[in-house]
Amino acid sequence: MLTVYINGTGCISPQETAQGGALLSPLREYEQVRLATIEPDYKQWIDIKQIRRMSRVVKMGVGAARLSLEAAGIAQPDAIITGTAYGCLEDTGIFLTKMVNQQEEMLTPTAFIQSTHNTVAGQIALLLGCHGYNNTFVHRGFSFENALLDAIMILKEGTAQHILTGGLDEITNDSHQILSRFGIYKKAPVKTMELLKSPDAGTIAGEGAAFFTLGVSKTPGTVAALSGVSTLYKPLWEGEVIGHIMKFLEDNNCTPADIDLLVTGRNGDIDQDEIYEEIVDALFPEHPEASFKHLCGEYPTAAAFGVWLANAIIAGQKVPEPVVFYGKAPEKINKILLYNHHQGTHHSLILLTAC
């Protein structure tokens, strides 16, 4: 059976993830309802004239993609696959505002062209000169997971050796205002390190970009393999999720006892975190558990940050204290299971194995 390896990772997030060095050192703590990414100096990857024309999410995506390729030691991937639920919101907002203000007359096409969801993947391909397969998945909370599944299938077909895959989303003033109407976010600022113990509804908004260079053979920096990815849409009750997890583990030749660390997508919303409690009680009662959304915020492709974190934990064989939700991780971390759901409808499982 073909093994898919994570040969390089790159992440731009509300934490200091683009700088290298020790994991979550230093830790960025916030007290607000919306987290923004800490953006590196993009001039190291992008020509200064192009930077001015790029929106924030495009720069984030290009930066994270470059970090991933550099870590893998690969100049040119065979394919580029991204996942995003919201796409380029900033340019979409600019275009729609101009449509209203200018009464749909004398509109410049730039903002419209750059507002499409596949702008990031296209921009990365242009900068790299990559003429291979280029695809973007826009499947809400499954956008990133479907990008991973597509990459795995192509690698198993043998039509590509190295695939650049990532998930990214941004939050803007307009989108935050609109989403807040649905009661998704907390009304008052909350300290990020206290978020997961919050006793009320709502979470904090986030954003970020995480990219992975996947391949069929290991490179010198490879620490983990992507052993499995699975999704479950709108389960009727928690028993369906439990059965899905058991089947997923069985398909990947392991049991709950083989999982050294469980990483969950708890986000501090008392209603949405309830399913995590039930799954842990049923399948992983004594397992050490880590969480990540108090570090990056909630957004549809936040699982990409979770996978980046899991890969970094395997690389360092240590779970940083800010990530630990329950228990103490074993000294040797071989298998990490990431279980995440978005808005209670999009449930996903991602299994990483040390190599």
Assess whether 175 and 250 both reside in one domain. Answer: no
- Of the candidate ranges 43-52, 297-306, 337-346, the one whose mean pLDDT is the lowest: 43-52
Residue type, 137: F
Assess whether 183 and 230 both reside in one domain. Answer: no
pLDDT at 20: 82
pTM of the model: 0.97
pLDDT at 19: 87
pLDDT at 1 over 80: no
Q: Which domain holds residue 326?
A: 224-354
Q: What is the mean pLDDT of residues 154-165?
A: 97
Assess whether 43 and 118 both reside in one domain. Answer: yes
Would you place residue 151 in the very low, low, confident or very high pLDDT band (cuts 50, 70, 90)? very high
- Of the candidate ranges 36-40, 196-200, 238-242, 319-323, the one whose mean pLDDT is the lowest: 196-200
pLDDT at 329: 86
pLDDT at 46: 93
pLDDT at 182: 94
Assess whether 237 and 210 both reside in one domain. Answer: no
Listed residue (24, 31, 92) closest to 58, CA to CA: 92
Q: What percent of the chain has pLDDT over 70?
A: 100
CATH number for the domain spanning 99: value is: 3.40.47.10
Would you place residue 265 in the very low, low, confident or very high pLDDT band (cuts 50, 70, 90)? very high
pLDDT at 114 over 90: no
